[in-house]
């Protein structure tokens, strides 16, 4: 009952698990365990929680369920604070004793629908790009390191008895079970999702098949991440994006745990043989996850600034991060995704290499300095992507592959570098070429609608209905 009352009080105040956790100095995962009745709180924590929620401790410890009436009264008060409701210009409705429950039920249900209709998480491509730019700025500011998520991952691992090395399937399932979820592999998962979670029966449905870096283990941990980090249905596209980044971070932090990974990287640096390949192999993750995880830990633990890019064979950028001053191509709004990267950069050079599936090392002289980079092609189910990790020249000395003699010069974003055709060819072909463009259906071009963009709810509900009795 304590858990129910705690959740009731927290939700009534519109707090996420993470927000309440921050107020009492506990991880969201700990509060989630309390709310789900899987752990008994110490009295000191009850008092801290009660203070954080401004309720008497006795209120949280009462043995009765919070009443429907109480719930409705709180919901009505919340509703009237909502800007969309306030816009209606109605006088304040006090939920006095003479207002019957069914009236409250109606008002609260109408307001919920009002809120639902107002939610437009997908917005326009411009807004989506803007959200991406903001998110990247926030990641850059923190050196791409998120202490609360590292802590949540470390706690989840400790609770499951993790003792180092790559995460076994058995340990992975025990991390999931520890949070009260079971896992079921199915063949008929709706096409618009990577996983579906039945919150009534706390069961996560997955397909036993890899989608690029999204192996069944990463999808499972990303899904669990949403619950451990206390996410609720996204309010807008920026919220959706932030949640996705956090859930991905959580998955990476469980599969490549901070403490052993940081130790491994420090030793490799001291031996001057840092390499993304080794990180990938030791923790048995994809190259992309290893490179991305490297960016999480490199600045915080090794004091190394770095950059990360994911691009396709045509040089189109899908993901990018930097805190080392490298200048990515960007549109007027600052968006990098969807831009075409310099031909000289290693992420494009690797596609042209004789052995495209071995790491390519190179130095690139750019307008913002010289960088040492390693690029690797991660084969995907639909297309291959190049993953690049780079550091400023002076830090190359810690990396394996620093002895490479490949060196290029890039003047991008100056158009004379590689974005405009050479004058001789332009003179010969201008006006005499008619390319038929291939439509880019990727990333931010056409965003589907819904709280969970692009997810077919009808499919998802009938799927859950069908499997509930399995
Ligand atoms: Zn260029």
Query: 341 C-alpha to center of ligand 1: Å?
Result: 7
DSSP string, 151-194: HHHHHHHHHTT--SSSPPHHHHHHHHHHTT-EEEE-S---TT-S
Distance 345 CA to ligand 1 centre (A): 8
What pLDDT shows up at residue 449? Answer: 60
Q: Give pLDDT, residue 149.
A: 96
Q: How far is the CA of 368 from the centre of ligand 1 (A)?
A: 13
Same-domain status, 192 and 246: yes
Residue 239 main-chain phi, psi, to 5 deg: -65, -45
pLDDT greater than 50 at residue 448: yes
Tell me the pLDDT tens digit for each residue of 452-462.
Answer: 776 777 778 88
- What percent of the chain is predicted at pLDDT more than 70? 93
Q: In the listed set 101, 118, 135, which residue is the last one of a domain according to the structure? A: 118
- Token pair of 334 as six digits: 């600052």
User: Measured between alpha carbons, how far is 40 from 457 in angstroms, rounded to an integer?
Assistant: 36
Query: Rounded CA gap, 54 and 200, in Å?
Result: 29
Say yes or no: 221 and 306 in one domain. no
Q: What is the distance in A from the centroid of ligand 1 to the CA of 371?
A: 14
Q: Is the pLDDT of residue 202 over 60?
A: yes
Q: Which two tokens stand for residue 35?
A: 């709310």
Which range, of 217-226, 247-256, 412-421, averages the lowest pLDDT? 412-421
What confidence score (pLDDT) does residue 366 get?
Answer: 95
How many angstroms does the Cα of residue 380 sit away from the middle of ligand 1?
A: 26
What pLDDT does residue 203 have? 94
- Collapsing DSSP states into helix, strand and coil, what is residue 209? coil
> Which one has a higher pLDDT value, 375 or 449?
375
- Residue 359 structure tokens: 């790491």
pLDDT value at residue 282 = 95
pLDDT of residue 238: 84
| Distance between Cα 367 and ligand 1 center (Å) | 11
How far is the centre of ligand 1, averaged over its atoms, from the C-alpha of 370 (Å)?
14
Are residues 58 and 132 located together in one domain of the fold?
A: no
In angstroms, the Cα distances linking 135 to 189, 242, 246, 294, 321 are: 30, 7, 11, 19, 10
Q: Strand, coil or helix: what is 201?
A: coil
Q: Give the Å distance between the CA of 74 and the centre of ligand 1.
A: 59
Report d(CA 326, CA 346) in Å as an integer. 13
Reduce the DSSP state of residue 288 to 3 states and report it: helix
Q: What confidence tier does 445 reach under pLDDT thresholds 50, 70, 90?
A: very low
Residue 321 near residue 295, CB atoms below 8 Å: yes
Q: Are 432 and 421 in contact (CB under 8 A)?
A: no
Mean pLDDT, residues 285-310: 96
For residue 360, what are the β-bridge partners? 375
Region 48-53: what's the mean pLDDT?
A: 91
> CATH code at 344?
3.30.450.20
C-alpha 405 to ligand 1 mean position (Å): 20
pLDDT at 437 over 80: no
424 falls within a domain:
no
* Distance between Cα 137 and ligand 1 center (Å): 24
Average pLDDT over the chain, rounded to whole?
87
> What pLDDT score was predicted for residue 275?
96
Instruction: Report the C-alpha gap between 61 and 3 in whole angstroms.
Output: 9
What is the 438 CA–ligand 1 centroid distance (Å)?
22
Does some domain include residue 237? yes
More confident residue, 51 or 443: 51
Residue 446's pLDDT is: 46
Domain span at 380? 285-409
Residue 166 belongs to some domain of the structure: yes
* Tokens of residue 247, six digits: 């859930």
Question: 119: phi > 0 → left, psi -120 to 50 → alpha, else beta; which?
Answer: beta
For residues 326-352, average pLDDT: 90
Pick from 227, 252, 277: which residue ends a domain?
252
* 142 and 112 co-located in one domain: no
| CA 40 / ligand 1 centre spacing (Å) | 60
Distance CA 365, CA 357 (A): 24
Ligand 1 centroid to Cα of residue 254, in Å, is: 38
pLDDT for the residue numbered 302: 97
Strands of the 195-198 sheet, one edge to the other: 182-185, 203-206, 195-198
Quick check: is 419 in a domain? no
What value does the mean pLDDT take over residues 169-184?
Answer: 91
pLDDT of 442 above 70: no
- pLDDT tens digits for 84-135? 787 888 888 887 778 898 998 898 888 888 777 765 555 677 777 888 888 9
Residues 199, 164 within the same domain: yes
Query: Residue 50, Cα to own-chain centre: how many angstroms?
Result: 31
Q: Which helix (H) or strand (E) holds 259?
A: helix 258-270
pLDDT > 90: percent of the chain = 45
pLDDT tens digit sequence for 294-304: 999 999 999 99
Domain count along the chain: 3
Q: State yes or no: pLDDT of 288 exceeds 60.
A: yes
Ligand 1 center to 440 CA (angstroms):
22
């Amino acid at each position: 009952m304590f858990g129910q009352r705690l959740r009731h009080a927290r939700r009534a105040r519109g707090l996420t698990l993470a927000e309440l956790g921050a107020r009492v100095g506990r991880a969201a995962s700990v509060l989630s365990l309390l709310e789900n009745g899987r752990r008994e709180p110490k009295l000191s924590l009850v008092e801290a929680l009660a203070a954080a929620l401004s309720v008497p401790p006795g209120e949280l410890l009462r043995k009765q369920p919070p009443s429907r009436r109480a719930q409705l009264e709180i919901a009505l008060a919340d509703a009237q604070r909502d800007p969309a409701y306030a816009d209606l210009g109605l006088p304040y409705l006090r939920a006095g004793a003479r207002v019957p429950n069914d009236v409250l039920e109606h008002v609260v249900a109408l307001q919920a629908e009002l809120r639902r209709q107002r939610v437009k998480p997908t917005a326009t491509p411009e807004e989506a790009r803007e959200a991406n730019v903001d998110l990247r700025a926030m990641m850059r500011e923190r050196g791409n390191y998120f202490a609360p998520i590292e802590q949540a991952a470390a706690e989840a691992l400790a609770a499951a008895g993790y003792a180092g090395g790559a995460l076994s399937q058995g340990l992975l399932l025990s991390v999931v079970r520890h949070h009260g979820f079971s896992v079921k592999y199915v063949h008929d998962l709706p096409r618009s999702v990577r996983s579906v979670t039945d919150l009534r029966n706390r069961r996560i449905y997955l397909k036993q098949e890899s989608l690029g870096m999204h192996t069944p283990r990463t999808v499972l941990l990303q899904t669990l991440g949403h619950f451990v980090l206390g996410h609720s249905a996204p309010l807008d596209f920026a919220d959706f994006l932030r949640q996705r980044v956090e859930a991905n971070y959580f998955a990476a932090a469980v599969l490549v745990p901070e403490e052993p990974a940081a130790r491994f990287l420090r030793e490799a640096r001291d031996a001057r043989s840092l390499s993304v390949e080794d990180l990938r192999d030791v923790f048995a993750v994809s190259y992309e996850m290893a490179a991305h995880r490297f960016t999480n830990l490199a600045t915080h633990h090794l004091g190394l600034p770095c950059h990360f890019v994911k691009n396709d064979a045509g040089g189109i950028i899908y993901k990018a991060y930097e805190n080392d001053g490298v200048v990515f191509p960007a549109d007027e709004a600052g968006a990098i995704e969807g831009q075409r990267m310099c031909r000289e950069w290693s992420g494009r050079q690797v596609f042209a290499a004789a052995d495209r599936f071995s790491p390519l090392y190179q130095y690139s002289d750019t307008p913002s300095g010289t960088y040492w980079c390693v690029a690797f092609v991660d084969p995907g189910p639909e297309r291959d992507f190049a993953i690049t990790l780079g550091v400023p020249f002076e830090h190359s000395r810690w990396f394996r592959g620093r002895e490479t003699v490949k060196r290029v010069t890039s003047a991008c974003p100056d158009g004379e570098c590689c974005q405009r055709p050479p004058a001789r060819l332009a003179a010969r072909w201008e006006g005499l070429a008619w390319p038929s463009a291939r439509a880019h259906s990727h990333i931010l071009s056409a965003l589907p609608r819904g709280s969970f963009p692009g997810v077919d709810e009808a499919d998802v509900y009938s799927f859950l209905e069908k499997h509930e009795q399995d």
